[in-house]
Amino acid sequence: VVQPRAGRALDAGRVTTRSGLTAGLLITAAGLACAMLPGLTGILVGAALIGAGTGLITPLGFAALASSTPQERLGQTMGAAELGRELGDAGGPLLVAAVATATTLTHGYATLAALIAVGPLLGLARRTLNSRGRSTGST
């Protein structure tokens, strides 16, 4: 439901790759935080948010890769991106399970949520540092 709308919003210029990916990562992290809440409601809200976040991340990320990759390397780039996505699909549950085995399931979800939230925060920090470097004239 979200993926086609995210793609159309990108095509129409209503969302940028950066804003869409950032929103998707933060929505996904919020979903993982909700999944830590006790009871069925937390799990259901968490699943909906994780799905919506992933629905933003996937088409916008692949569109960004496709638009920035030279034509002669497009297949290689998209194949590597898909491999990374599949490893994440397999690795996320393994990470949660490993942490949950050592502690609790709540801690497993918290670890994954923290890792997902770090991406946009690092991007923001990098962007801030780059803009400061440009404003002072340093390279």
Tens of pLDDT along 80-90?
Answer: 999 988 988 89
**Mean pLDDT within 59-70:** 93
Residue 132 pLDDT greater than 90, yes or no: no
What pLDDT, on the 0 to 100 scale, is given for residue 136? 55
> What is the DSSP code string of the chain?
-HHHHHHHHHHTTSS-HHHHHHHHHHHHHHHHHHHTSSSHHHHHHHHHHHHHHHHHHHHHHHHHHHHHS-GGGHHHHHHHHHHHHHHHHHHHHHHHHHHHHHS-HHHHHHHHHHHHHHHHHHHHHHHHHHHHHHHHT--
pTM of the model: 0.72
Q: What is the DSSP letter of 70?
A: -
Q: How confident is the model at residue 134 (pLDDT cuts 50, 70, 90)?
A: low
